[in-house]
Amino acid sequence: MATYFFGDTAVLTGRTLRHVTRSPDTVITTAIMPVALLLLFVYVLGGAIRHGSGTYVSYLLPGILLITIASGISYTAFRLFTDMQSGILERFQSMPIARSGVLWAHVLTSLAANVISLVLVVGVALLAGFRSGAGLLAWLAIAALLVLFTLALTWLAVIAGLNAKSVDGASAFSYPLIFLPFISSAFVPTGTMPGPVRVFAEYQPVTSIVNAIRDLLAQQPVGSNLWIAFAWCAGILVVAYLLASISYRRRIS
């Protein structure tokens, strides 16, 4: 069975990638909301926000990128749910294939689709005045963080897709994830928030990831934020992957 894993996953990924390329609106709608937020905060609200040195668009971009990922992964839950509803998942399960390949195909497709959305959003940010002198190593670290964050949230989406009772339920789980950056250092410094909110904002994963990416882009010393950010992403990824695997096994046996 293991010998088929990579081949089967590649074939199944080709299938789900076609679903993306044949409905490019899913990639565009993923990018529209973050782009709208970006423009709103940069050109309407940002002038009144005291965020420290540098342009506000550069301050804002890391949080916007995380929101892009959080809204993009809901399509994974949606596609997985549709696969179960249509019976095609059962067809795959009754075939001599590597069964976990079905999930990995959705996860890899999510990664590809989110990368495209992220590139679109960064493009708009560049037009809005975002600049960074970060070197190759810093960009690689940012890419690694974003990829890990995408994988972690995608496996959460897999859990939602496998356990949803309706299409709406399958995609609604991502709303709290999209909202999470608002209660973090993504839009405003956490210093002005009242006590309990500030504690939550400072210790939730988004803040450490946003701070790490922001410092990397601004060529500032990143400090412990980078490792905390990686630890959060890896932790969520492992837990979500295990829970998704358990859900999947319960679904198919």
Partner 1 sequence: MLTFMSISSAINQAQGSVTQGPAIQVQGLEKSYQELRVLRGVDFEVARGSIFALLGSNGAGKTTVVKILSTLLKADTGTARVNGFDVAAQAADVRESISLTGQFAAVDEILTGRENLVLVARLRHLEDPGVIADDLLQRFSLTEAGARRAATYSGGMRRRLDIAMSLIGNPPVIFLDEPTAGLDPEARIEVWHAVKELVAGGTTVLLTTQYLDEAEQLADRIAILHQGRIIVHGTLAELKQLLPPAEVTYVEKQPSLEDVFFAVVGDPK
List of residues contacting partner 1 (CB under 8 A) = 1, 4, 7-8, 11-12, 15, 18-19, 22-23, 86-88, 90-97, 252-253
**Closest CB to partner 1 among 99 and 198?**
99
Spatial separation of the C-alpha atoms in residues 155 and 181, rounded to whole Å: 19
Whole-angstrom CA distances from 161 to 99, 164, 204, 243, 244 are 16, 5, 24, 12, 10
**131 vs 250, which CB is nearer to partner 1?**
250
Q: How far is the CB of 82 from partner 1 (least distance, A)?
A: 9
Q: State in angstroms the smallest separation of the CB of 90 from partner 1.
A: 5
2 versus 44: smaller Cβ distance to partner 1 = 2
Report, in Å, the least distance between residue 62 CB and partner 1. 34
Minimal distance, residue 21 CB to partner 1, in Å: 10
| Cα 4 to Cα 97, 137, 242, 245, distances in angstroms | 7, 35, 22, 19
Residues across the chain? 253
Q: Are 138 and 221 in contact (CB under 8 A)?
A: no
Q: Please identify, using beta-carbon distances, which residue of 69 and 97 lies nearer to partner 1.
A: 97
